[in-house]
Structure 1
Amino acid sequence: MKINFDPFLRFIKIKSLSSIVMLVTSMAALYMANSRFASMYQEFLELEFTIGFSEFHLTKSILHWVNDGLMAVFFFLIGLEIKSEFITGSLNSIRRAVLPIFAAIGGMVVPIIIFLVLNHNQKGIEGWGIPMATDIAFSIGVLGVFGSRVPLGLKIFLTTYAIIDDLGAIIIIALFYSSSIDWHLVIIALILLSVLFILTALNIYWKYFFLFSGIIIWLLFLKSGIHPTVAGVLVSFTIPLQRKKKFSDVIRRGRKALNELSLMIGKKEKVFEEHKDALHVLDTFTSSIYSPLQYLQYRLQGLVAFLIIPLFGFANAGITFTAQGSAISPLTLNIAVSLLFGKVIGISLFTYLTVKLKIGVLPLYTNFNQIIGLGFLGGLGFTMSIFIANLAYDSADMINSSKIGILLGSMIAAILGLTILKFSLKKKLNLE
């Protein structure tokens, strides 16, 4: 049986290209924060933007709209990817999922332990969640440097591991990085979520109702003290994976519409006025052939990859190296060391133990040297790590120091990962 990897390969390609765009916007932010444009850059991020009307409105700075608003869409997409992987992807069976699951657990637990040991009785201990996160776009982007030399199983392993890592980060954010909670608002949000789950179970899906409900749930979480990006993940889990219409009916209508339009070849364009129904059928064909979950994944991947994530990088990577207190501190080094060594030790050790105990097996055409290389790529923590740093600290100096640590650890991890993979990947992959 031939397996179709086209959606997965498209996912890999988008993540790789996204990492390039995010790198460019992040470098632009670094330049502006340390140049004569620094004040302009800060004023832009602090510029307030209001949505709503006189009696009911929400006013936030651009930085907060990006981190609390746009990033909720990012987490919504992550939730869709997690649900898809658990139902139809590489996590839909214990045998296929066990290795990346254990690797992800090691990649989260070990960095946290190292950080807690290094930062014992020091300022900044509350940032223990920072080194546990992996940036899926940057890690896949770095791996993509080797092109066809990378076995498909290794790409799937990294992607699956990173998705589970994202799930772990989401849980940590929800449980430990939310402020004092107004449980009345949380209960209302959970009731509304329950309604969406019930509608999905009954195979009822009204996209505008789900959209409006999602916005209300996001607002309730925002006001309750739980970080609103968690709402994005929870709402994504309510999106149905099954189609509303039968596949055969959709194909039949699409074929009929194409046959009708094919009769118009060579005729004047104004004749199409007579075939509005056929054009409407083709216009809605894509949304009909996909399930709601697949359709939203398809539509949101480009928006998140090439707009939201680059904007997040531009808004949050503006580290000031010249300001007082922004020099490398113990916190900076602790985060860099935890991110770098915690990830490679955790991922490699847990993978090795899982294989040796015969709980799981390595992907085809891969070896432990390549897993070590991937372990270092797991140390690329940019997006998620910076996001958690913003939640963990109130002090601008500590946020700045933690960002420097994230950048330092991520850069060294990328270099070491590239070096190991360069020598461990065969020059030409032989699949015979």
Structure 2
Amino acid sequence: MALLRSARFPAVLLLLAAALGLVLANSPAAPAAFAIADAHVGVPGIIDLSVRHWISDGLLAIFFFAAAIELQYELTTGQLNSATRAVLPALAAAGGVIIPVAVYLLVAGGSDAASGWPIPTATDIAFALGVLAVFGRGLPSTVRVFLLALAILDDIVGIVFIAVLFTSDVNFGMMLLALVFVVIFAVCSRLVDTRGGRWAVAGMVLSGIGTWYAVHESGVHATIAGVVLGLVMAQQPALRVRHEIEPWVNAIVLPLFALVAALVVIPQVSASELSPAFWGVLLALPVGKLIGIAGAGWIAQRLLRVPSAQALPFGDLLAAGALGGIGFTVSLLLSELAFADAPGIRDQATLGVLAGSGISLILAAGLVSWRAWHHRRVLQAS
């Protein structure tokens, strides 16, 4: 269990699972792999999802639940427990959305690929934290906290884009039901340490499942349920739950998610056929995210007059910006939705997401390693 609670081993496991998924999808084993991923499992008349969606909508909600608990702790007790500290990653996340959109539209605006502008706005939190864990030994914890808050906000923006731009039949009754379940969950979590603790735990489990189901049936991406539940849960029980589920998230949830997320066929497109969708995403993820996050973070620290002792150095902001360019899963989902009626453009956008995320990953590995080396050297000299 200790190995699965470490930072680096689960990250390596995640990256290996992603590599395996990409290899399987582009090998003779692809038909069998896709048959398993697309097989449907469910309860007749209640819910019916493919294995792929059970993982990306269901299991991944558990990861977001654990991440949101950590974010709640940082916002209330940890390193983001002041308005200034909490606003900083929010402003950086805004820059990491606005600038990539501008870069994409600069390349693809006015073409038939213009509707793909939301694609490069997302950050894949699992992969970004995984790369940080593998290459960031020696980085101060402030960088990870900053990236965690930034990536969660980015993903929420992506989910909002999905709900607003690509969901035409949101069930507001189910949304209201989800809100009722969230309130029940929050109340029960505050009764866990009382005499009726067992009943409170049962209430949490049932209302948590109910929240996820209601959000899913509302038409909004179900992982948002994990974020909300993690943020409203009473802190001490939440921290205990996170400690208990952490090995399972690292050993099962994230590797399975990485495997199915990377199960993508690399489109066979010649260089002369590449459309603005490809070039827009290719530039917006590594370049737009880097400039947007690092630039907005640097400006925000000066506008907020963050003391130099507490401010993130510009090099650390650059590393976080490069990590933010690993769009991958949510970006792939956004490309499917944006070009649902144009499979040719969708394939090129997919290729752009894979290439742009790959460039960001390599760039992030270099920048994170450099900053980790810098901080280790400073620590040794002090």
TM-score between the two structures when normalised by the length of structure 2: 0.82
Q: 1:46 aligns with which of 31, 38, 51?
A: 38
Q: Does 1:429 align with 2:378?
A: yes
Correspondence 1:218 to 2:223 = no
Match of 1:302 in 2: 247
Give the conservation status (yes or no) of the 8 Å contact 2:22–2:263.
yes
Determine if contact 2:12/2:134 at 8 Å carries over to the other structure. no
Q: Residues 416, 186 of structure 1: CA spacing in aligned structure 2 closer, same or farther, 3 A cutoff?
A: closer
How far apart, CA to CA, are the structure 1 residues paired with 2:135 and 2:59? 32
Deviation at 1:317, TM superposition (A): 1.4
Distance 2:215 2:130 in 1: 33
Bigger shift: 408-417 or 30-39?
408-417
Q: Which residue of 2 aligns with 1:63?
A: 52
Q: Of 101, 104, 108, which residue of structure 1 is paired with 2:90?
A: 101
Residues of 1 paired with 2:222 and 2:134: CA distance?
35
8 Å Cα contact 1:50-1:60 kept in structure 2: yes
Which one of the candidate residues 16, 25, 29 is aligned to 2:17? 25
| Contact residue 157 and residue 363 of structure 1 kept, 8 A | no
Q: 1:409 aligns with which of 356, 365, 368?
A: 356
- The answer to whether the 8 Å contact 2:275/2:345 transfers is no
Q: How is 1:128-277 mapped onto 2 (pairs within 5 angstroms)?
A: 128-146=117-135, 148-199=137-188, 206-241=200-235
Counterpart Cα distance in 2 of 1:140 and 1:124: 31
Q: Which residue of 1 aligns with 2:259?
A: 314
Distance in 2 of aligned mates of 1:62 and 1:22: 18
Offset at residue 325 of structure 1 (A): 9.3
Contact 1:98 1:360 in 2 (8 A): no
Asked if 1:343 corresponds to 2:289, the answer is yes
**Structure 1 pair 103/188, CA: closer, same or farther in 2 (3 Å)?**
closer
CA contact (8 A) 1:178 1:227 kept: no
**Which of 328, 339, 349 lines up with 1:382 in the alignment?**
328
Question: Does the residue aligned with 2:47 lie in a helix, a strand or coil?
Answer: strand
Taking the aligned partners of 1:377 and 1:238, their CA distance within structure 2 comes to 28
Contact 2:26 2:265 in 1 (8 A): yes
Instruction: Tell whether the 8 Å contact from 1:133 to 1:381 is kept in structure 2 after alignment.
Output: yes
Other-structure match for 1:119 = 108
Cα deviation for residue 337 of structure 1 reads 0.8
Structure 2 CA distance for aligned equivalents of residues 89 and 44 of structure 1 = 42
Instruction: Tell me, yes or no, if the aligned pair for 2:319 and 2:367 is still in contact at 8 Å.
Output: yes
Q: What amino acid sits opposite 1:46 in the alignment?
A: D
Q: CA 1:170/1:77 → structure 2, altered by over 3 Å: closer, same or farther? A: farther
- Identity of paired residues, percent? 29
Counterpart for residue 267 of structure 1: none
Structure 1 window deviating more from structure 2 (390-399 vs 378-387): it is 390-399
Distance in structure 1 (CA, Å) of the matches to 2:307 and 2:329:
30
- CA drift of 1:173 comes to 4.2
In the other structure, the counterpart of 1:369 is 315
CA contact (8 A) 1:380 1:410 kept: yes
User: Are the counterparts in 1 of residues 159 and 220 from structure 2 also a CA contact under 8 Å?
Assistant: no
Shift of 1:342: 0.9
What code does the residue aligned with 1:320 have?
A: V
The structure-2 alpha-carbon separation of the partners of 1:179 and 1:85, relative to structure 1 and needing over 3 Å to count, comes to farther
SS in structure 1 at match of 2:232: coil
* Shift in CA distance, 209/125, structure 1 to aligned 2, threshold 3 Å: farther
- Give the SS at the match of 1:35: coil
Change (3 A) 1:417 1:357: same
1:429 match: secondary structure: helix
Structure ID, larger Rg? 1
Give the TM-score normalised by structure 1: 0.74
* Contact residue 124 and residue 328 of structure 2 kept, 8 A: yes
For the residues of structure 1 that align with 2:288 and 2:88, how far apart are their CA atoms? Answer: 18
Give the one of 331, 334, 338 matched to 2:277: 331
Runs of 5+ consecutive residues of structure 2 not aligned to the other structure: none
Number of equivalenced pairs: 370
2-structure distance, mates of 1:346, 1:140: 19
The residue type paired with residue 412 of structure 1 is I
Cα displacement (A) at 1:152:
4.0
Quickly say closer, same or farther: Cα 1:88–1:169, change in 2 above 3 A: farther
Superposed displacement of residue 294, structure 1: 0.7
For 2:305, the equivalent position in structure 1 comes to 359
Matched residues in 1 for 2:135 and 2:179: separation? 45
Q: Distance in 1 between matches of 2:367 and 2:230?
A: 37
Are the structure 2 counterparts of residues 144 and 73 from structure 1 closer, same or farther at C-alpha, using a change threshold of 3 Å? closer
Report how far residue 332 of structure 1 moved: 2.3
Deviation at 1:137, TM superposition (A): 3.6
